[in-house]
Amino acid sequence: MGEPSAAQQSPRCRLVGELDRHDGQDIVRDLFVKPPKMLPLASSPSASKGSIVLARRESDGRAHVEQLLAPAGSALASMYRLAAKHLLNPAFPDAVEAEVQPGRVDPEHGPRGTGNGK
């Protein structure tokens, strides 16, 4: 099978979650894991409870908010919850993100290193 890549071995991962509070602590609830997993936030979020965010789980078990995806109470937040209900996760694993970094795709010939002879 071969050794897993560094990205596959990494304990870090991106997740789409909902901001909340639990036992007096700011958390993000991963919407695309059943049952939902709650991760403590490394710092207080600037968005309000109920907002949907893109976060990164770090090796210390805490999450860092990278981006606000939808404000609390918005139609877009409802769309993310609907996607979660059907496990249609919009966050790609780190290994996939690494594959599509700038410079890996030639606009005229497609992805590099595919063995297509171009």
Tens-place pLDDT, residues 44-89: 888 899 999 999 998 898 999 999 999 999 999 999 999 999 989 8
What is the pLDDT of the chain when averaged over all its residues?
81
Separation between Cα atoms, residue 51 and residue 29, nearest integer Å? 11
Separation between Cα atoms, residue 38 and residue 55, nearest integer Å? 12
Amino acid at 51: S
Q: What is the pTM of this model?
A: 0.71
Q: What pairs with residue 53 in β-bridges?
A: 17, 68
Instruction: Supply the DSSP symbol for 57.
Output: E
Domain boundaries of the chain, sorted by first residue: 10-91
Quickly count: other Cβ atoms within 10 Å of residue 36's Cβ.
Answer: 14
- Candidates 1.20.1300, 2.40.50, 1.20.120, 2.60.120; CATH matching 10-91: 2.40.50
